[in-house]
Amino acid sequence: MAISRAQLAKELEPGLNALFGMEYARYENEHAEIFETESSDRAFEEEVLIVGFGNARDKSEGQSVGYDSASEGFTARYTHETVALAFALTEEAVEDNLYDRLGARYTKALARSMAHTKQVKAANVLNNAFNSSFTGGDGVELVSNAHPLAGGGTFSNRPSAYADLNETSLENALISISTFVDDRNMILALQGTKLVVPPQLQFVADRLLDTPGRVETADNDINAIRNMGLLPQGYAVNHFLTDTDAFYVLTDCPDGFKHFERSPISTSMEGDFDTGNVRYKARERYSFGFSNPRCVFASQGA
């Protein structure tokens, strides 16, 4: 339905001092703190886990060397979504507006809606990280204590008991990351790179990472996380996270969080010959997800 003069009555009368409600500052591109962006030229993208070799074996004198085999593991698929929004203005509404160009003002609102939607979709990868209804390529949720290993067994990227963000829980997260194993149960040299928190935890994060001494103690101890140079990228606040006490420690694991851009945002405008209405549309295609769950260690709070 086109926006008509009846919906813009005050904009058609003299004496109006200001129009407000659509021009706000906004949080932009917070997804870039989490996701690696790649381009795509197909309907979906797939990333396949390659399972390498296990530990080398002892070889007795004069005996044949043992052989191992590699294989493919699970496949992570990214199916691109098409996100679009449009509006239309009647010919009369455009003609009779007294104050500014209606199309320019509402096009800004259109861009704001598209940008907000993108941030929500990106954050939902973390918002659904503990939900078993949203599984990755290995068949379990992003944050789980039962990620299956191709060589048998499981690994965990969460604490055994969920805890709130504090010095102890953060140190335990960093220790766990340093002992992550691959699919043949060999220890990987991974480390935490960045802490991602909702706005409710930004003050806790700042005290934990940016103070020279230990937090909430009278002991004259150093802040070990800061002193050892752990979490070199500090912390990032994501305002689209919905769990107010969950926190996420990103790691340097390759092929973790991915954002595929199939078609960048584009806008178009056209007039309708019969009605005279002017139509505006914004459209883009993208996907957010993860391949290797070792890219994060997280807790949803106590």
Write the CATH number for 213: 3.90.1690
The answer as to whether 122 is a domain residue is yes
Domain span at residue 153?
34-42+74-299
Total structural domains in the chain?
1
The answer as to whether 69 is a domain residue is no
The answer as to whether 293 is a domain residue is yes
> Could you identify the residue written with the tokens 């220790």?
175
Tokens of 260: 């595929």
Contact 8, 102 (CB under 8 A): yes
What are the percentages of helix, strand and coil residues in the chain, rounded to 5? 25, 30, 45
Rg (CA), the chain: 26
The answer as to whether 273 is a domain residue is yes
What does the pLDDT look like over 194-248, one tens digit per residue?
A: 999 999 999 999 999 998 888 877 777 899 999 999 999 999 999 999 999 999 9
> Could you identify the residue written with the tokens 């806790």?
204
The answer as to whether 123 is a domain residue is yes
The answer as to whether 90 is a domain residue is yes
Higher pLDDT, 109 or 148: 148
The answer as to whether 201 is a domain residue is yes
The answer as to whether 54 is a domain residue is no
d(CA 300, CA 83): 29
What does the pLDDT look like over 118-166, one tens digit per residue?
A: 999 999 999 999 999 999 999 999 999 999 999 899 999 999 999 999 9
* Three-state SS at 64: coil
With a CB cutoff of 8 Å and minimum separation 6, the contacts of 10 are 16
